[in-house]
Structures are given as C-alpha cells and as structure tokens.
Structure 1
C-alpha cells in the first residue's frame, strides 16, 4: 500500500512539473470601438462634429444663411441645456453642444421661436432687416419694418389689424420686443402653413426644418449637411424646446454608430431626443 501511495505521489509531482513547462497560449480579445465624430475642443457646429470617412461638407457661400448656421458658436463641451429660469433642464443626455445664445427669462423662446430668432438675427446681421417678418397663427403677417415704424397689432380673437400707436424705433432693444410679439402669436402651426415645403431629400440644405405643426407641435433645424461620392447625405440637427431653453445640437440616440449625424427621409418616422416625428415633413424660409 505504501509503495502505491509513493508511486501516485511521484506521478502527481511529475504532472505538476510538466504543466509548468507547457507553452502558454495567449488569447487576444478583439476590441471593437465605434468611431467618434466629436471634437470636444470645437467651438462652432462645424468644428465640434467631424465628417465620417468619405463624406464631405456641402459648400455654401460665406454670406449665406447656411454658412451662418454651420458656424454658430458653441459653449464649451459639456455645457448644460438651461431653462429660461436659469435652472438646468431635467434631461442632459441628448445633446453634444449648446449654442452660445441667451435664453430670455420671459419663457417665450420655445422650439419654433428659437429658430425664428436664428433667422431674424441672421437677417439683422446681414442688413436684410426689411425681410424680417412672420405670420401669426391667424395668418396675418407682422413685419419688423412696420413694427419699427410704430405699428402695433390690435388683436380680437382671429381678427388682427395694425395701427400706428408709438414713435418709430429701429433699435436692437426694440427688435427684441418685436421678437417677443412674434413668439407670442406665432409657432409651429404658423410656420408650417407659411413656409415653403421641401419635396425631396436631395433638395434639403442647412436651415431647412423638420416640422409638425400643432398645439403642441415641434420643429428642429438642419445645422449641417455632408455627402459622399454615392450622393448619400447625413445631417446635423439643432432644436429649442418647451419649456424655453438653450438651443442645442442633438445626439442621434437611435443610430449611435453615426451619432450625432442623422439619416433623414421624407414621410418617415424620425426620432430625436424628446420627440418623434411620425411622418416627416420639411419646410424652408421663403427667401432661401
């Protein structure tokens, strides 16, 4: 019995030594990383988001509305979306940039209003002030030109008339008072009814808007466009929101492989953080 135990012990020792000198097989785990298109140091929409390989940005004239939107200044990466009352919006996971544009404390600059402001600021900056004007939800057109001359609307239900009630004032301060009036009486429904409809994805460009008019409705703006050699396009999107809050550059939560870029289609379902467009329609400011 003792001989058997000694024999087994020797076998065990030999086995242990044999295992120690076996060649070690290394297992290499493949790590797949998604490409990132963010440049966290980028201070404009164009610089914050890089184009995927084989895509190039559509070229626009430096005086155009498209160029103006693409080069909007952004706050530092990681900036929060802030409500009109100065408090952070409850959801902070849907954006990759915040435009460096103030949010008035009156709470009026909501989704449609934020894009109306971008358009109006561009026309002001490029000395096209006579083109600043928008329809009320009632369908009545209210221009900055007449407002600056001292005309004010008298509103009775759906009936609107304009009367000169104050002295002319062309100041920037008065311009923002005009915008507050537009924010009050215009919105997604009036933009949807007033603006030019886009019938082809190929025709889309920066400044065009994905819209559903209603109470509530929602509207977002194309902030950049890129294209590959096959003619396939990708888009960046910006939005304001309700409650009135910072205009922000959206993530693509449905297709994280290309986020923050989006693929867009007409008459399809398109989801953005906080809203789903069930039957996508696009509109454009008429002078573009």
Structure 2
C-alpha cells in the first residue's frame, strides 16, 4: 500500500474531477493521503474533504496552516483564526498537524519579513498545541533550520526537500522526515537522487505535491497534471534509485510517515462509520 504525504486535493485543477481522482488513487492502492491547507479560508473545506472521501482512502488526513505563498494576502488576525480552527480540530482524528507553513525565497514579490512573521507565529502554535509541522522549504533551508531551533517542535515533514546533504542531516537531527516525489524521477536531478541513496531510509517519505511537481513521464504521456494515484509509480522509481524492493520501500515510508505525524498513526485505532465520520474501535 502507498502513501502520499503531500497532496492538494482542494486545488482548482481537481475541482471538477475530484471523485475520479480519488477513485484512481484508491485503485492504485493509495491508502493514505495528507491534505495540507494553505489559507485560513480553506480550513473548513479541507476538513470536509477528509471526511467526505474517507471511505475510499481510509488514511485521508489534513493539516491546517498558512502557506508562505499566501502570506502577502494574509492578515495578522489570521493567526488568531488559525489558532481557533486548530483548537476546533483537535477532537477530529483526521487532523494531524500544522501546515503547509514555511519560507519561500524563490518566488519573486513575496515580502520576506511578512513570511517570517507568519512562519514564526505558526511555529508558536505548533509548540503551543504540541503538533508536528508540514514545512515548505524553497531556497530557505538555513533560515528554517534557525527558526526550528528556537522552537520545541514535535517533528513533522520537510516537504519536497532539495537541500544539501548537510542540511538534510540537520533537519533529521531536529526530528523531521524529508519528502521526495516526482522531482527525483528526472535523471538530471543528481542532488535529490544522491540524497535518496545516502540518507537513512528511516528519514524518507513519499509525496506527489499534486497537482504540482510532475514526474518525468507525465508530459510524455500527455497527462495534464500530477495526481495522488501517481505516487505508486513514483515510489517504485524511488525504490529503484534507492536500490531496494518496492515492498521494502513502501513499508519504510509508511512507517516513517506515521512516526512523523503520530495522530495519523492513531487514526487507525478508529473506524469509519457509514456517513464518513469516525468512531472508536
């Protein structure tokens, strides 16, 4: 069984085809998907999606946060709203952490000071609620490491990791797992492939970042954008790069994800009721 630790099911690209997208993932034995919110306005929507499609994807979970690409539009009051949404979600077994949060020093036009304000405020919330984080790390590895060291964070995942080996080691030392997906399927992605082969296996998780970060074969096959169903093929290619069997890799990344996000693991002590809600086993 496969796991996608980062998938934006609420993206506009899936608006008209989401039932088919979820069905396709289920047919590929994708049994767990993490859906991160990117704005406070999305909190209720991702919560509802996690419940709505839980019959097909039993391990469908969500996190709540403000993505760095949306910080220019965010208001300081959004932190208070986010705190309220987090508190409201604590009783929901499908809520597993805070994210997608972080820093992006690649995209032009983003106010770095505003990004840093929202990132640090959300790390404060993660510390307050004792929740792990889903991190957006783009050309910002050192700044994020510095911020993490100022907070007592309960682990999480550095999504779409593309830093140096030394930076990877520092994230791991701080209790983070590292997300790998379609970018590693490109032969020219030498640094990412090196990380895949040399990092401890217990530090790696799989993701698609659907509908983004398409694998190398996507456009060749005339497919419009990435989907969670593709995590199976992506993961098999990552296993080949790693030099281990598909089943060994699948077992490892599943275990790693559950370790990174303990509430995700705890979800399996519940059962899905016919209406998509959850009851204790």
Instruction: Bin the TM-score by the shorter chain.
Output: under 0.3
TM-score by length of 1: 0.26
Which of 1 and 2 has greater Rg? Answer: 1
Answer 1 or 2: which has greater helix percent. 2
